[in-house]
Structure 1
Amino acid sequence: MEHQYPPISDYGLIGNGQSAALVRRNGSIDWCCWPRFDSPAIFCRILDANQGGYFRLAPSCGFRASREYVGPTNVLATTFTTDDGAIRVTDLMPAPRDDDASRQYPHRILRLVEGLEGSVELECEFFPTFDYARTRARYEARSGGAIAYGEDEALSLVTPVALQEEGRALLGQQRVTAGDRLWFVVTHGPTADAEGFLDVTPEDAQQELEHTLSYWKDWIGQCRYEGPYRGLVIRSALVLKLLVFQPTGGLVAAPTTSLPDEIGGERNWDYRFTWLRDSGLVLDALQLLGFHQESMQFIDWLQELGHVEDGHLRVVYRVDGTSAPTERALPHLEGYRQSQPVRVGNAAVEQTQVDVYGQVLDAVILCFERMPRRIDPELWELLTRLADQAAAHWQTKDRGPWEMRGEPQHYVYTKLYCWVGLDRAIRFAEDAGLDGNVDEWKRQRDAVRDAILERGYDPQEQTFTQTFENRHIDASVLPVGLSGILPPDDDRIRSTVERVREELSRDGLVYRYGMDDGLPGRDATFTLCSYWLVMNLARLGELEDACRIFDRICGHANDLGLLSEQIDAESGQLLGNFPQGFAHLGLIRAALAIAEADRTGRSTT
């Protein structure tokens, strides 16, 4: 067993709309939570190389590995080449079936080993650790497989390789020659159902592979984007789709927890929940590409939330719409490369973030404007309540987009999105002839705009600032130039972009801010902020710079096209939770901005 941590970029992602798994280049599944994204991890080696569970299929001797997704899908294929031959391991979670969307399809990973040439000794290591490695597995051998039991859950493993219990794991080896096809199937479920999950034949597995390949190709076939960087955009769309919780339409910020923003530091957070801000922005990006079903499903989910919350939306939820858990540490896990603490839950659940009203209004209204259809009266009633909340509370201090853990302040970003939400609500109500407190919305929209321009802009420094209270430069003001509150080529926007480049950018990679935020250590550059810079440059007509920086950011993606929350400007390594929805929505929006600037030769609002 290896007891070391690979770079975060070593991992690929598979999933199926209920959970996801990280597959390392060496054939090891090192992260998987079942039955949902936010469930306790069963494989968590990425957070503790000694205690964390994994499931590895790879040659028993030295090898070279190359990998790719099978076309425009989320099926991952890794080829291992040794001195004696080559094998391919194909990994997938079976896709949902549209003929029974409500079905709780098995929580399952399928792994196909194929002999490509020569002869290779395959090694199988199976080591599940239930409940974040707090429950040791109890193994029972079965014909054609084995069952690993936790307290009230089990993993059933179908395997053609004879396994022996050695220490804490099941181990086995088998020689694979050219033409061989070996299926390994691991299924999660209640202990009472474990025996039944062993009844999976190679024919069943092959059908699931074919269905899953067809599912992803049919889904991505809806993409209508034909502009520059299309391959990167398609991969990003496929990543974002994996983050959508299929039963409800909720969307997780990332499928992982506690991958650090700084190696060895404390900036380790749990992103396996639905932030309404993130969800609105991500689904807006998908809709711009032609994917409408995800937006409508999210709107349905949001409408259900509105009934429960009476228009007073929280910052973050579980994927099923219940409140996200409060934050706690798991001190028994050492963390990725000794970065502690490992956290589950998120303290943002206790925060006030007023921008959420505007973010949701913006996403939902733009959805209906792009795809004209009659809005449900109950949904419009919810949106009017959100607009009323934005109008009533835009002057409230909050923690801002970065969820600062100090005292609340008047963040310019928050004010901006209150303006955006009110502006969209006014426009939609007037265009569609809908009722609402439009006159009050107009008064407050104008008031918040005046406040932003008078109190949020520093004429001496020639930049919009982080808050009304301080003069710090913060990348969260870059959306000012993307919102429509000012013409995109306004001098205040141009000078703000230049100040961000001077103070926060390392050759296009942008830090969120430069001041002390009260936490030990420091962030790396924030991927979404770097793409915000690209979008602004494209709208300002500086297309050459926009493309150069876009290429630089994308050059830090791993070989599969996946990006994390942050990028270390010096080493180039990926940091933070991975892959992150914000990063990939940023890529999509930046590519669209470049395409628009290239097409028109000018900026548009």
Structure 2
Amino acid sequence: MSYQPIENYGIIGNLYTTALVGLNGSIDWFCFPHHDSPSVFAAILDQHKGGRFQIHPLLSEVHHNQLSCKQQYWPSTNVLITRFLTPDGIGELIDFMPIVSTRDPNYHGLVRQVRVERGTMAFNVACFPAFNYARDAHDVVLTESGAAFHSNHLKLGLATDIPLQQKGSGVCAEVSLSEGQIATFVLRQLDDGACGLPLSALETTDLFESTVNYWHRWLSQCTYRGRWREMVERSALVLKLLTFEPTGAIVAAATTSLPEQVGGERNWDYRYTWIRDAAFTLYALLRIGFTEEAAQFMNWIEQRCRDCSTGQCDENGPLQIVYSIDGKPVREETLLSHLEGYQGSQPVRLGNAAYGQFQLDIYGELMDSVYLYNKYGVPISYDLWTHLRSLLNWLCNNWQRPDRSIWEVRSQARPFVYSKLMCWVALDRGLRLADKRSFPSERQQWIEVRNQIYEEIMEKGWNATHNAFIQSYDCAALDASSLLMPLVFFVSPNDPRMLKTLAAINRSPQQGGLVSGGQVYRYQVEQAADGLQGGEGTFNICTFWLVEAMTRAGRVDRQQLKQARLLFEKMLSYANHLGLYSEEIGPSGEALGNYPQAFTHLSLISAAWNLDRALDQQ
């Protein structure tokens, strides 16, 4: 086995956890029972030790190079279909996690159904779990109804009526099917030593249909009917998969440690929820009609505000930047040195050391999310306002401190322009909320500080030599986060300074800009030291930010609007065969970074919605 390209994977899930299924029929990433639980299959991080569950055609040497694999989703769902096309016939593998029965432990797992649509095909089935990131040993027990895998902390059963054979730490089987025949495999958690009974054909059909119906009902809430409906709906489906149903939190991505540069050290654990994601998440969900999900995430945000106490905050402020899906602060980052990493990209990380960073921008994103929810969702409570008011008063006394900002640099703290921008946003949204709801506030103080921040950004954050807003007061490098200035209404999209910044960013890196082939880098790592070695790909969210900034500028300059649409359409071509995106795009158009990435899909929804509206108004 060799590593699959990151873009070769589809994703399935049940609102508790997810799994990645490759074009070769192999599940190479599966954490259970939750998004941030230890892995059961992690071949994507170590092809030898990580563990996998593969169902794949058995081909003769004559036909070995004549296999073609394709994937698609069952229309408007997260049920994945992998097709194997061979000279002998066409096989189909259906993968899904039941939704409606997620509270029933008997169905809290994976269903894999393989069948032949044409001709006759033989399949190899290989299930080799590697519990706890391949750190825990386990026993294998074969029974008449499948196999059971017992580790110290987790017991899983593989139920099937296909005879299995033990092979080392896993099981395997060969099954030949003719047209119309079906074999089903169900992997689920066990409370005892049994492996569970195989599902009957009727039970499997019922689970499949109920899961499809769930996704159809959920997606029917989507109000987007624009030009890119299919891509927007797929992005919404991805965001729903990344949700943790008990708390409403949305993880940043399904994976950990997929590299931003193959062989590099920029590998992070994204199976957590960032305060920063709040505004982007709520804006995207509310814009396309998913008010219930927005309300659940708003409840999660409100609880974090209640948990914090400004009277007991440490040097990093009253809020932590990143939390686990159950709302607890992340407290560690550890390295798994026994795993080689994706294509040898080490280290493999658990947890995220950014939890200990001081990042001022999160307060602007927090206040923007609350403001948006109060405007487009449900009016916020007075109790929440009292917590927000305390946060804003703390911010008035701390906004001038240097920090690590949106990109979570691992170099020294600096006066980042983006962080100052978000401090302005926090106070601006606080003032708007207070006025809209007649809440008590320190209005005069907030106005004075807001004005002070604005003037300081215009004085120190603008570089007359480069004719652009820069990354920080002490670094004249360009930064794609400047593209958010018109999006948060700090400046007009047609302000001369913004248009000059757009022009500067739109140049190639060789000309001092950030755009290469229509794709946008966060910044040039050679010019802005971030404490890490190596390079990275272009950032998908930054490309969608550029689309939005040009779209807004296009309300006056129609050429900007035309360019925005072209850039957006080009960006859509970088999605994989299922419409999924990772965090970054590499030099050859390959996916890099954790996958699929919530930030990318959120920004796609926002860009599509605003671009549609602008095109309709021209």
Bin the TM-score by the shorter chain. Answer: over 0.9
Question: In the aligned structure 1, how far is the partner of 2:207 from the partner of 2:359?
Answer: 43
Preserved CA contact (<8 Å) 1:361 1:421: yes
Q: CA deviation at 1:545?
A: 0.9
Residues 347-496 of structure 1 aligned to structure 2 (within 5 Å): 347-371=353-377, 373-496=378-501
Tell me the secondary structure at the aligned position of residue 432 of structure 2: helix
Tell me the secondary structure at the aligned position of residue 440 of structure 1: helix
> Which residue number corresponds to residue 546 of structure 1?
564
Residue 301 (str. 1) matches residue 300 (str. 2) = yes
Tell me the secondary structure at the aligned position of residue 400 of structure 1: coil
> Which residue number corresponds to residue 90 of structure 1?
94
> Which residue number corresponds to residue 577 of structure 1?
594
Tell me the secondary structure at the aligned position of residue 46 of structure 1: coil
Deviations 1:316-351 (A, max 9, x none): 010001111411110100010000111111011110
Measured at CA, do residues 93 and 506 of structure 1 come closer, stay the same or move farther in structure 2, by a change above 3 Å?
Answer: same
> Which residue number corresponds to residue 29 of structure 1?
27
Q: Which amino acid aligns with 1:508?
A: G
Q: Which amino acid aligns with 1:388?
A: N
> Which residue number corresponds to residue 315 of structure 2?
none
Q: Indicate which of 325, 332, 335 corresponds to 1:329.
A: 335
Measured at CA, do residues 243 and 310 of structure 1 come closer, stay the same or move farther in structure 2, by a change above 3 Å?
Answer: same
Q: CA deviation at 1:263?
A: 0.7
Question: In the aligned structure 1, how far is the partner of 2:391 from the partner of 2:503?
Answer: 34
Q: Which amino acid aligns with 1:548?
A: L
Q: CA deviation at 1:551?
A: 1.8
Deviations 1:546-592 (A, max 9, x none): 11111222211110000010101x31111000110111111111112
Q: Which amino acid aligns with 2:568?
A: F
Q: Indicate which of 9, 14, 17 corresponds to 2:15.
A: 17
Residue 507 (str. 1) matches residue 505 (str. 2) = no
Question: In the aligned structure 2, how far is the partner of 1:231 from the partner of 1:338?
Answer: 35
Tell me the secondary structure at the aligned position of residue 171 of structure 1: strand
> Which residue number corresponds to residue 5 of structure 2?
7
Preserved CA contact (<8 Å) 2:219 2:233: yes
Q: Which amino acid aligns with 2:68?
A: R
Measured at CA, do residues 285 and 30 of structure 1 come closer, stay the same or move farther in structure 2, by a change above 3 Å?
Answer: same
> Which residue number corresponds to residue 557 of structure 2?
none
Residues 271-286 of structure 1 aligned to structure 2 (within 5 Å): 271-286=270-285
Question: In the aligned structure 2, how far is the partner of 1:343 from the partner of 1:126?
Answer: 25
Q: Which amino acid aligns with 1:512?
A: R
Question: In the aligned structure 1, how far is the partner of 2:106 from the partner of 2:490?
Answer: 46
Q: CA deviation at 1:137?
A: 2.9
Measured at CA, do residues 80 and 352 of structure 1 come closer, stay the same or move farther in structure 2, by a change above 3 Å?
Answer: same
Preserved CA contact (<8 Å) 2:23 2:69: yes
The farther-off stretch of 426-435 and 259-268 is 426-435
Question: In the aligned structure 1, how far is the partner of 2:380 from the partner of 2:575?
Answer: 39
The farther-off stretch of 104-113 and 321-330 is 104-113
Question: In the aligned structure 1, how far is the partner of 2:272 from the partner of 2:125?
Answer: 33
Query: Runs of 5+ in structure 1 lacking a partner?
Result: none
Residues 28-427 of structure 1 aligned to structure 2 (within 5 Å): 28-61=26-59, 62=64, 63-96=67-100, 106-189=107-190, 192-193=191-192, 195=194, 197-198=196-197, 200-310=199-309, 312-371=318-377, 373-427=378-432
> Aligned pairs, how many?
592
Q: Indicate which of 511, 517, 524 corresponds to 2:530.
A: 517
Q: CA deviation at 1:102?
A: 7.3
Q: Which amino acid aligns with 1:259?
A: L
Deviations 1:406-434 (A, max 9, x none): 11111111111111121112112111222
Tell me the secondary structure at the aligned position of residue 276 of structure 2: helix
Q: Which amino acid aligns with 1:369?
A: K
Measured at CA, do residues 374 and 472 of structure 1 come closer, stay the same or move farther in structure 2, by a change above 3 Å?
Answer: closer
Preserved CA contact (<8 Å) 1:412 1:465: yes
Question: In the aligned structure 2, how far is the partner of 1:219 from the partner of 1:21?
Answer: 20
Deviations 1:257-295 (A, max 9, x none): 010000111111110111110233123211111101111
Deviations 1:21-76 (A, max 9, x none): 00000100000001111111110000001111111112111422111010111110
Tell me the secondary structure at the aligned position of residue 483 of structure 1: coil
The farther-off stretch of 436-445 and 177-186 is 436-445
Question: In the aligned structure 1, how far is the partner of 2:500 from the partner of 2:610?
Answer: 20
TM-score, scaled relative to structure 2: 0.93
Question: In the aligned structure 2, how far is the partner of 1:106 from the partner of 1:391?
Answer: 51
Question: In the aligned structure 2, how far is the partner of 1:205 from the partner of 1:103?
Answer: 15
Q: CA deviation at 1:382?
A: 2.2
Tell me the secondary structure at the aligned position of residue 393 of structure 1: coil
The farther-off stretch of 313-322 and 478-487 is 478-487
Tell me the secondary structure at the aligned position of residue 595 of structure 1: helix
The farther-off stretch of 481-490 and 373-382 is 373-382
Preserved CA contact (<8 Å) 2:160 2:197: no
Preserved CA contact (<8 Å) 1:41 1:132: yes
Measured at CA, do residues 105 and 499 of structure 1 come closer, stay the same or move farther in structure 2, by a change above 3 Å?
Answer: farther
Preserved CA contact (<8 Å) 1:148 1:154: yes
Preserved CA contact (<8 Å) 1:507 1:549: no
The farther-off stretch of 489-498 and 59-68 is 59-68
Measured at CA, do residues 279 and 193 of structure 1 come closer, stay the same or move farther in structure 2, by a change above 3 Å?
Answer: farther
Tell me the secondary structure at the aligned position of residue 135 of structure 1: coil
Tell me the secondary structure at the aligned position of residue 123 of structure 2: strand
Question: In the aligned structure 2, how far is the partner of 1:534 from the partner of 1:336?
Answer: 31
Q: CA deviation at 1:220?
A: 0.9
Preserved CA contact (<8 Å) 2:145 2:198: no
TM-score, scaled relative to structure 1: 0.95
Q: CA deviation at 1:459?
A: 1.9
> Which residue number corresponds to residue 595 of structure 1?
612
Preserved CA contact (<8 Å) 1:106 1:187: yes
Question: In the aligned structure 2, how far is the partner of 1:196 from the partner of 1:130?
Answer: 17
Question: In the aligned structure 2, how far is the partner of 1:199 from the partner of 1:299?
Answer: 40
> Which residue number corresponds to residue 510 of structure 2?
none
Q: Which amino acid aligns with 1:338?
A: G
Preserved CA contact (<8 Å) 2:186 2:198: no
Preserved CA contact (<8 Å) 1:260 1:268: yes
Q: CA deviation at 1:201?
A: 3.7
Q: Which amino acid aligns with 1:358?
A: G
The farther-off stretch of 507-516 and 101-110 is 101-110
Q: Which amino acid aligns with 2:218?
A: W
Residues 524-535 of structure 1 aligned to structure 2 (within 5 Å): 524-535=537-548
Q: CA deviation at 1:508?
A: 1.6
Q: CA deviation at 1:200?
A: 4.2
Question: In the aligned structure 1, how far is the partner of 2:105 from the partner of 2:116?
Answer: 33
Question: In the aligned structure 1, how far is the partner of 2:169 from the partner of 2:24?
Answer: 20
Deviations 1:442-476 (A, max 9, x none): 22111111111111111221100101122111111
Query: Runs of 5+ in structure 2 lacking a partner?
Result: 311-317, 508-512, 555-559
Tell me the secondary structure at the aligned position of residue 47 of structure 1: coil
